[in-house]
Homo-oligomer: A and B are copies of this chain.
Amino acid sequence: MNQINNSADEMTMRTPIQCSQCSMQSICVPAGLVPTDVEILDKCSREPHLFNKRNIVFSEGQKLNSVFAIKSGSVKCYTIDSNGKQQITSFHMVGDIVGLESLASGSAATYCETMETSMLCELKLSKLFAQELPKVESNLLQLMSRRLANCSKHYLNIVNTSAEQKVVAFLLSISTHMHQHGLSRSEYRLPMTRTDIANYLGLAVETVSRIFTALKEQQLINTEQSILTINDFTALESRVA
């Protein structure tokens, strides 16, 4: 698609857009940081970057005093264990904020890699906090608290459940996320590979694949390339109960 700058691993936009005038405001800002004071956010942060597919946004351990808002596209966060094996800890899509875990230590807790061409807004914490606005911090607190709650929700999805329950719950959770951001909850694109899904859920790729085909045979879902269609929500929800 993009002829220039193929080898570069990121490309900064020439003309940064104000958050207050950003077309993604309805999905990015409300989902994230400061619902009311968009113009304040404009003053202190906002540096949009465009990333190609499979580019590293930040690396584990690197100095990091920013968080990133995903304007478009999607990323995966992962660590590399002592054996060199990648373990995905989270996926993030349109409207999500990435990098909150790194806030305390000042260095990135995970790698963050785009799964497709993506636009991310860097929000520098120093500038954010320099505003001395209690609202900014308390919104961040809200965001992190919600993330913590999500974290244990995902945990519940992993512990003591069958492989099928893991996969179904995963698909439904993405559906919910899409719906919350004004997109279709019954048909969406899965930006990650089966291998990534398996890694994230702690399953073998083959198991994930087998479950997809089983669900298709039962007419509960459909897949067309990376497009996933959910045909029967109630049936799926009954599986995870």
Contacts and interface: CB of A to CB of B under 8 A. Distances in A.
Interface string A71-94: 000000001011100010110000
Contact of A141 (B83, B110, B137, B201): B137
Contacts of A4: none
A214 interface: no
Judged by DSSP, the binding face of A is helix
A121 interface: no
A72 to B, nearest CB: 24
B87 A148 contact: no
Interface in A136-173: 137-138, 140-149, 151-152, 154-156, 158-160
Nearest to A241: B82
A85 to B, nearest CB: 8
A103 B142 contact: yes
> Is the interface on chain A under 10, 10 to 19, 20 to 34, or 35 or more residues?
35 or more
B152 A110 contact: yes
Given A152-B110, A202-B160, A101 B145 contact: yes
A158 B160 contact: no
B149 A152 contact: no
A148 to B, nearest CB: 4
A84 to B, nearest CB: 11
Interface in A194-228: 199-202
A104 B158 contact: no
A129 interface: yes
A148 B149 contact: no
Nearest to A90: B152
A104 B148 CA distance: 10
Interface of A: 79, 81-83, 87, 89-90, 100-105, 109-110, 129, 132, 134, 137-138, 140-149, 151-152, 154-156, 158-160, 199-202, 241
14 contacts: A101-B145, A102-B149, A103-B142, A104-B145, A137-B138, A137-B141, A140-B141, A141-B141, A144-B144, A144-B145, A148-B148, A155-B158, A159-B200, A159-B201
